[in-house]
């Protein structure tokens, strides 16, 4: 199953003409990815990330402990090649999670929206939390998330997902 997952991720990267850069290249580029070259950084977690828009110009608009975060996104199953969830077309649907930080971990727990009902779980995919250290309020990122960093379904079935998270909005 892990081999199928690796093959699905590799095929998506190839078919999408994605240029993968290292974390050191990412840091040399001021923690940004070049959209013209369709760059994604491969992070130590195994997540691939493209920052489309870092968000707010105000450097202090970063996520804080115990903050609620609204997300607008679509989820694409890389193994079965199809969209499985999206809240982009429904302005009345919002998915919200609470972000918490301890001395040893970060976590997210859904508090509102249809995605937690769809998943039958309130745990935010760990891969979604990784971009938060690089972005600010109202950011747009794209992620390729391997199963071990995904939602509970992804972990149980060893399915990688592609996410287009068009907005991380921090509630202040």
When divided into structural domains, the chain yields a total of 1
**Using CA atoms, how far apart are residues 136 and 80, in angstroms rounded to an integer?**
32
Residue 20: give its domain's CATH number.
Answer: 3.10.50.40
Q: Which domain holds residue 37?
A: 2-171
CA distance 133 to 156: 27
Q: Could you read off the pLDDT of 125-145 as tens digits, one per residue? A: 999 999 999 999 999 999 999
What integer pLDDT is reported at residue 172 of this predicted model?
A: 66
> Which segments of the chain have a pLDDT < 50?
none
> What's the confidence (pLDDT) of residue 25?
97
**Planar angle of CA 95, 136, 28, nearest 5 degrees:** 130
């Amino acid at each position: 199953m892990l081999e199928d997952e690796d093959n699905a991720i590799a095929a998506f990267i190839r078919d999408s003409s994605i240029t993968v850069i290292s974390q050191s290249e990412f840091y040399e580029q001021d923690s940004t990815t070049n959209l013209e070259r369709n760059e994604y950084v491969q992070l130590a977690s195994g997540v691939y990330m493209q920052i489309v828009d870092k968000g707010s110009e105000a450097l202090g608009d970063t996520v804080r402990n115990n903050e609620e975060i609204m997300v607008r996104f679509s989820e694409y199953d890389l193994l079965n090649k199809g969209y499985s969830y999206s809240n982009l077309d429904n302005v009345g649907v919002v998915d919200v999670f609470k972000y918490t930080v301890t001395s040893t971990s970060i976590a997210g727990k859904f508090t509102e929206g249809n995605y937690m009902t769809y998943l039958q779980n309130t745990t935010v995919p760990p891969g979604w939390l990784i971009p938060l250290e690089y972005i600010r309020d109202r950011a747009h990122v794209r992620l390729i998330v391997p199963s071990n960093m995904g939602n509970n379904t992804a972990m149980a079935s060893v399915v990688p997902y592609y996410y287009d998270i068009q907005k991380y909005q921090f509630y202040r």
